[in-house]
């Protein structure tokens, strides 16, 4: 029986979200991005780069198969991403406090979402403004 030294590709969960072991730091987030299918991989890479550019000392982790972002030295997370079949859902955990609020509502009063679609250009300037605002708010403990 031959064995391969190449690790198996991460399994995609329903909707295409990669199943990535939880972990702290940039490496698990980059593994999640590398496993994202199709056009969403480049979109996730862009979102990650925009967060890093806006918050140079951002802290990253993967929990529950989703990348999370926090301000280094602050308790709690301000943003996460999750893949669905047709879009990437970006969660701003205190999004109801952002001006303007991200467009999609949540069951949580505080959380607002941005859905990133293949055929709708991302407003990078607005996204960056939301990231900067969100990073100044209390984070969500998880």
Tens digits of residue pLDDT in 28-38: 999 999 999 99
Considering the chain, what is the average pLDDT of its residues? 92
Strand order in the sheet with 87-92: 23-24, 58-63, 66-71, 79-83, 87-92, 112-117
Mean pLDDT, residues 133-139 taken together: 95
> Which of 2-6, 44-48, 60-64 has the least mean pLDDT?
2-6
Angstrom distance (rounded) from CA 121 to CA 91: 18
Give CA–CA dist 57/34, Å, rounded.
Answer: 22
Band of the pLDDT at 75, cuts 50, 70, 90? confident
Question: Which 3 state secondary structure label does DSSP give 62?
Answer: strand
- So what's the pLDDT on residue 7? 52
């Amino acid at each position: 029986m031959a064995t391969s030294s190449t690790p198996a590709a991460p399994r995609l969960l329903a909707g295409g979200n990669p199943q990535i072991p939880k972990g702290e730091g940039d490496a698990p987030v980059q593994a999640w991005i590398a496993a994202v299918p199709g056009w969403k991989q480049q979109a996730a890479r862009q979102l990650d780069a925009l967060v890093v550019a806006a918050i140079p000392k951002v802290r990253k982790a993967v929990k529950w198969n989703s990348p999370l972002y926090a301000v280094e030295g602050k308790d709690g997370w301000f943003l996460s991403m999750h893949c669905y079949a047709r879009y990437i859902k970006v969660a701003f955990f205190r999004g109801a406090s952002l001006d303007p609020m991200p467009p999609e509502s949540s069951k949580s009063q505080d959380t607002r979402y941005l859905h990133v679609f293949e055929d709708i250009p991302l407003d990078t300037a607005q996204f960056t403004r939301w990231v900067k605002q969100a990073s100044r708010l209390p984070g969500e403990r998880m």
